[in-house]
Structure 1
Amino acid sequence: MQRVELISVDGIRLEAALHPAVSSPCRGVVLLVHGVTVDMDEGGGMFVRLAERLVAAGFDVARFSFRGHGGSGGTQRGVTIAGECLDLQAAVTLVAERFTGPVSVVAASFGAVSTALSLPWLEDRLHRLVLWNPVLDLRHTFLAPELPWGVENFGPEAQERLRDKGFLVVDGAFELGRVLFCEFDRYRPSEQFLASSVPALIVHGDKDSAVSYPIAADAAGRREKVLLHTISGSDHGFDSREREDEAISVTTDWLVEQSAVMA
C-alpha cells in the first residue's frame, strides 16, 4: 500500500491510499468511496479488507477520505454534497493518472450520493458500480426520517440544535452543518442512478435501521443491469464479521465475473 495526497479542485487536501494488484494481468482498478462519519477505511476497516481481497484477485485499488473526514483537510461542518462531488472527481483523476484498465466504483452508504450524482459525467469511463446499503433518497433518510437511526440523529431535537447552533451531531461524534442539511432537499441521487446504464450490484441488509432497504430494492427492480444481493438479517454497515465477509466476498466475486465478461 502507498499513501498519497491529492488536491480537490477547490484546494482541499485529501488523504488517499493506493493498492497495486499482486497478480497479472490486471483486471482493472476499483475506487472505494466511503460513507458519512467514517473515512477511507470504512466502518471497522471494511475497505481495507475489501482492498486486500481485490488486489489478490488481480485489481488495483484506490481509497480516499472525503473532506472533513479522516486525515483529509476541511472541517466536518464544512462538508457538503457538492464538495464531496469535487473530491470524487479528484479521486477519479488520480486513478486515471496512476492506473490503466477499466474503472469500477464501490460506494458505501452516503458515498452513493456523490457517486450517483456524478454518473452524468462519470458513466462513460465507468465499467461497473457496486453500492453497499446506498443512500438513494435523501428526504426519507434525513429530512423526514422513518428509520430509528434517522429519527435519533435528525429528529425534532436535532433540527432545533441545527437552527440554534448551525450544526447537529451525528452518532455523538460528527458535526453536520446546516448547508449540508439544506442540500438534502435539493439532490435526487436515485434519479441519476435510475437514468444510468452502468451494470450495478447493490448489497444491502434487509434489517437496515438507517438506510431504507425497500427503497434500494425498488431501485434495483426499476432498472436493467442491476443485481440486488440481500444480506439476510443485517443492519446498516453489515453488523457482524460474518455479514461483512459476505458483502466483501459477493462484491469481489461479482467484479471478477464482470471482468471476465468484459474480456
Structure 2
Amino acid sequence: MQSIIKNNVGETLDSTWARGAGGLRQSDWIVVLGHGVTGDKDRPLIVDTAAALNAAGFDTLRFSFAGNGQSDGDFRDATITKEVGDLDAVLSAVASSYSHIGYIGHSMGAAVGVIQSAKDPRISALVSLAGMIDTKAFAKTEFGQETPDDGLMWEEESCPLSSAFMTDLCETIQSIAEQARCVTAPWILLHGSADDVVLPRDTEQVQQMHGDAVQVVCVDGADHSFNQPAHKEQATDAVVTWLTALAAR
C-alpha cells in the first residue's frame, strides 16, 4: 500500500491508516472513510467509526479530501467532482494490498462514494452516513443566501464559499440519483431523523429506488453528525455489524 497518496493533480492527501485488532483481523478487507463538507479525517464521527471498525478487526484508512484538514490544495476547489478524483486516488493506493474495499462517506463524502461506486467495482461495500443525493437542494438551502467568492460556509472564516463549489453542486451535478440507481455493491444508509442539513428524504429516495436491496437505518432523534453519544454508538454499531456480516460471507 502506498504510504504517500497524491491525487490526479499532484496534491498530497493527508491520511491515517490503522490496523484491525489482531485476533479478529479481516486481513483481506480495508475500510476507507471520507468526511463531509468543511470537515476532515479527524472529525469525531469519522475517528470513532474507524476505531469501532478497528476493534472489530478491520484495517481502516481515513483521509482528508484536498483543500481540507492537512491535505494539500485550496478549500475553494473542493467540489464533489474533484473529490471523486481524490477518492479514486485513495482506492488506487490501497487496492493492491486488499481484495475487498469498503467505503464510508459522511454527507458530501457519501455523495462522492455513490458517484465512484456507480462506476468502480473496487468498492465492495458502500456505507452512507447522512448521505447527500439532491446536491442542488443542499447547496441552495444551506448557502443560497451567500454570495459565491465573497461569502462563507456556515460563517466559518476557513471555509470560503466558492463559485466553483456552487456551480458543481447546482449545475454540473444537481442530483446523484442516476448514479445511485447504478450502484450494485452492498449498501447501507444511515440517517438521523432530526437531520436538518441533509434531509432524511435523500436516503428515502434511495430506498424507493432499490427497495430491500439496500439496508436503511433511521437513528431516531439524531442530527446530521450523530453528535449525541447514544446516536453515534447506534450508528457505528450498525455499520460494524453490517460489515462484519458481509466480510463473513
Mark yes or no: TM-score above 0.5: yes
Give ranges in structure 2 of 5+ residues lacking alignment: none
Tell me the equivalent position of 1:82. 81
Query: What is the aligned counterpart of 2:193 among 199, 206, 213?
Result: 206
Give the Cα–Cα distance (whole angstroms) in 2 for the partners of residues 38 and 120 of structure 1.
24
CA distance in 1, matches of 2:85, 2:150: 22
Equivalent position to 1:106, from 99, 104, 107: 104
Aligned to 2:4: 5
Matches within 5 A, 1:229-244: 229-244=217-232
Q: Secondary structure in 1 aligned to 2:161?
A: strand
In 1, the alpha carbon distance for the partners of 2:19 and 2:150 equals: 39
RMSD value, Cα = 1.8
The answer to whether the 8 Å contact 1:202/1:226 transfers is yes
**Quick one: which of 164, 175, 179 aligns to 1:179?**
164
On the 8 A contact 1:77/1:167 being kept in 2, the answer is no
- SS at the partner of 1:131? strand
Hey, which of these two has a bigger chunk of strand by percent? 1
Aligned residues: 242
| Cα shift at 1:222 | 1.6
Tell me which amino acid in the other structure corresponds to 1:170: M
2:247 is aligned to 259
Q: Offset at 1:239?
A: 2.9
Does structure 1 conserve the Cα–Cα contact (< 8 Å) formed by 2:15 and 2:63?
Answer: yes
Identify the residue that residue 19 of structure 1 maps to in structure 2.
Answer: 18
Structure 1 moving runs of 4+ over 6 Å: none
Q: Which amino acid aligns with 1:186?
A: T
Unpaired runs of at least 5, structure 1: none
Summarize deviations over 1:95-135 as a string: whole Å, max 9, x none.
114x323111111101022211222432x122111100001
Task: Tell me the distance in 1 between the aligned counterparts of 2:99 and 2:51.
Answer: 19
| 1:115 aligned to which of 93, 113, 124 | 113
1:63 CA displacement:
1.0
Contact 1:4 1:15 in 2 (8 A): no
Give the match's secondary structure for 2:189. Answer: strand
CA distance in 2, matches of 1:206, 1:218: 14
2:92 equivalent to 1:93: yes
**SS, match of residue 106 in structure 1:** strand
Identity over aligned pairs, percent: 25
Q: Secondary structure at the match of 1:104?
A: strand
Number of the residue aligned with 1:197: 184
In structure 2, the partner of 1:132 is: 129
- Partner secondary structure for residue 114 of structure 2: helix
Deviates more, 1:247-256 or 1:218-227: 218-227
Task: Tell me by how many angstroms 1:27 deviates.
Answer: 5.5
Q: CA deviation at 1:21?
A: 1.7
**TM-score under structure 2 length normalisation:** 0.91
SS of the residue aligned with 1:257?
A: helix
* Residue of structure 2 equivalent to 1:67: 66
Is the Cα–Cα contact under 8 Å of residues 68 and 78 in structure 1 kept in the other structure? yes
Q: Say whether the 8 Å CA contact 1:4–1:18 is kept in structure 2.
A: no
Deviates more, 1:24-33 or 1:133-142: 24-33
Residues 41 and 118 from structure 1, CA distance in 2 versus in 1: closer, same or farther, beyond 3 angstroms?
Answer: same
CA distance in 2, matches of 1:36, 1:67: 11
Give distance in 1, aligned partners of 2:7 and 2:150: 24
**Structure 2: how far apart are the matches of 1:81 and 1:214?**
20
